[in-house]
Chains A and B, each alone.
Chain A
C-alpha cells in the first residue's frame, strides 16, 4: 500500500514534468525560443483540463496544451494520492474512522478545485 502511494506521487511528478518539458521543447522547436507568456484566466482545474482537451480534439494542439496538462497532472497528483488512501482505509484496513477523515480531506480539496 505504501508502495502504491509512493508510486502515485512519483509517477505524477515525473509525468507532469515530462509534459511541461515536452511543451517547452515543442515551443522552442516551433519558434526558436521556449518562452510563452499567458495567463490562465480565473478558471478552476476541471475547466482548465476540459478546455485543453477540447482544443486538442479540434486538432489545434499546441505547446500550451502540454504545459497546461502538465500543471493539471501535478495538481492532481496529491489529490489522487488522497483518493488512493481513502480506498485503502475503506477496503484493505476497513478503518472507517480514517476513511471518514480522508473523505473530509477529499471533500475540501474537491471544493477548492471547483473554485472559480
Chain B
C-alpha cells in the first residue's frame, strides 16, 4: 500500500506544478499517481474530482472580481458537460494502455503549445456574427493592470461550442481540466481578451469536472480513502503555487515546465506502447 505521506506529498507537488504552469493539476497528478502504482482509471477518477476543487477555488476569485463572463460560460458549459459524460464513458469502456497513449499525446500537445506560445496581443473585438450577438456574448471588465475598462464581444459561438464539446470529451476521458484547450478556444476562436478567457475557462472546468466525476462515482471508481489525501494535497499545493507564481519570472517557469511536460509525455507514451 502506498504510504500516506508519499501520496500526500506527491499531490502537493502536482497541485503546485499545476497552479504554477496554469496547466492544472491533472496533467501532473495522473502520471505521478500511476507511477506510484495507482490504477490509471482510479487515478483519472480522483484527478477529475480534484479538478473540481482547484478550478472552483481559482474561479471564485475571478468571479468576484467581475472578470468572468457568466453568459459565455453558461452557454459553453452546455456543450462541455455532454462532452465530459461521453469522454468518461469512453474511459470506462477502454483498456488501460490506450489511455496511457492518449495521455501522452495530450501531454505532447501541451508541450508543443507551450513551446509555440508567442504572445499574440489581443486586437480588440472585430465584427461580431449574428449568432453570437443573439447569444448576447459581450461584456466588459475593469483591467487593473491597464487601468481601464475593456469592452469586448465574442464571436463564432457555434464553432466555439463545437470545439468545447471536444474539450469536454478530453476532460472527461483523461480526468484533466483541459484548461489549456479551453483557454485557446475562448482566445483564438471566440476572440475574448486573455483575462476573460482564463477566468471563464476556470468556471467551465469546474462544472465539466463534475459531470465526469459523476460518471466515475457511479462506476465505483472513486476510492475516498485514496481521494482524501490527494485532494487535500492538490488544493494545498495549488494554493502555494498561486502564491509563488507572482514572484517568479515567466521565463524560468516556462523552461521548467517544458522539461516536466516532455518527460511526462514520453514516459506515458512509452508505458502505453510497451505495456504498463
In angstroms, how far is the closest chain B Cβ from the Cβ of A32? 12
A57 interfacial by beta-carbon distance below 8 Å: no
Which residues of the partner chain A approach B61 to less than 8 Å between Cβ atoms?
6, 10
Q: Assuming the A-B contacts A67-B225, A74-B49, A77-B206, are A101 and B74 also in contact, with contact meaning beta carbons closer than 8 angstroms in the complex?
A: yes
Q: Please pick, from A20, A40, A41, the residue contacting B231 in the complex, using a CB distance under 8 A.
A: A20
| Distance in angstroms between the alpha carbons of A16 and B217 in the assembled complex | 17
Report the count of interface residues on B (CB-CB < 8 A).
Answer: 50
| Distance in angstroms between the alpha carbons of A33 and B85 in the assembled complex | 36
Q: Please pick, from B1, B60, B75, the residue contacting A37 in the complex, using a CB distance under 8 A.
A: B1
Flag the segment in B25-33, B64-72, B174-182, B189-197 that touches A.
B64-72
B265 interfacial by beta-carbon distance below 8 Å: no
Contact at B53–A45, with CB atoms within 8 Å?
Answer: no
In angstroms, how far is the closest chain A Cβ from the Cβ of B162? 16
Contact at A79–B225, with CB atoms within 8 Å?
Answer: no
In angstroms, how far is the closest chain A Cβ from the Cβ of B37? 13
Contact at B207–A71, with CB atoms within 8 Å?
Answer: no
Question: From residue 87 to 116 of chain A, which have CB atoms closer than 8 A to chain B?
Answer: 95, 97-98, 101-102, 104-105, 108-109, 112-113, 115-116
| Distance in angstroms between the alpha carbons of A56 and B165 in the assembled complex | 40
Q: Assuming the A-B contacts A34-B4, A108-B82, are A44 and B206 also in contact, with contact meaning beta carbons closer than 8 angstroms in the complex?
A: no
Q: Please pick, from A42, A64, A68, the residue contacting B218 in the complex, using a CB distance under 8 A.
A: A42
B77 interfacial by beta-carbon distance below 8 Å: yes
Contact at A41–B220, with CB atoms within 8 Å?
Answer: yes
In angstroms, how far is the closest chain B Cβ from the Cβ of A26? 11
Q: Please pick, from A10, A38, A77, A105, the residue contacting B81 in the complex, using a CB distance under 8 A.
A: A105
Q: Please pick, from A5, A16, A40, A101, the residue contacting B220 in the complex, using a CB distance under 8 A.
A: A40
Which residues of the partner chain A approach B213 to less than 8 Å between Cβ atoms?
75
In angstroms, how far is the closest chain B Cβ from the Cβ of A85? 6
Residue among B71, B211, B219, B224 having the largest count of chain A Cβ atoms under 10 Å: B224
Contact at A79–B224, with CB atoms within 8 Å?
Answer: no
B94 interfacial by beta-carbon distance below 8 Å: no
Name the 9 nearest CB pairs between A and B, nearest first: A36-B225, A6-B64, A9-B60, A10-B60, A42-B220, A112-B214, A115-B218, A6-B63, A78-B206
> A residues touching B (Cβ–Cβ < 8 Å)?
2-3, 5-10, 12-13, 16-17, 20-21, 23-24, 33-45, 48, 64, 67-68, 70-71, 74-75, 77-79, 81-82, 85, 95, 97-98, 101-102, 104-105, 108-109, 112-113, 115-116
Given contacts A42-B218, A67-B228, list 15 more A-B pairs with CB under 8 A.
A3-B64, A9-B57, A17-B235, A23-B228, A36-B225, A38-B223, A38-B225, A40-B224, A68-B224, A71-B228, A82-B207, A98-B74, A109-B211, A112-B211, A113-B214
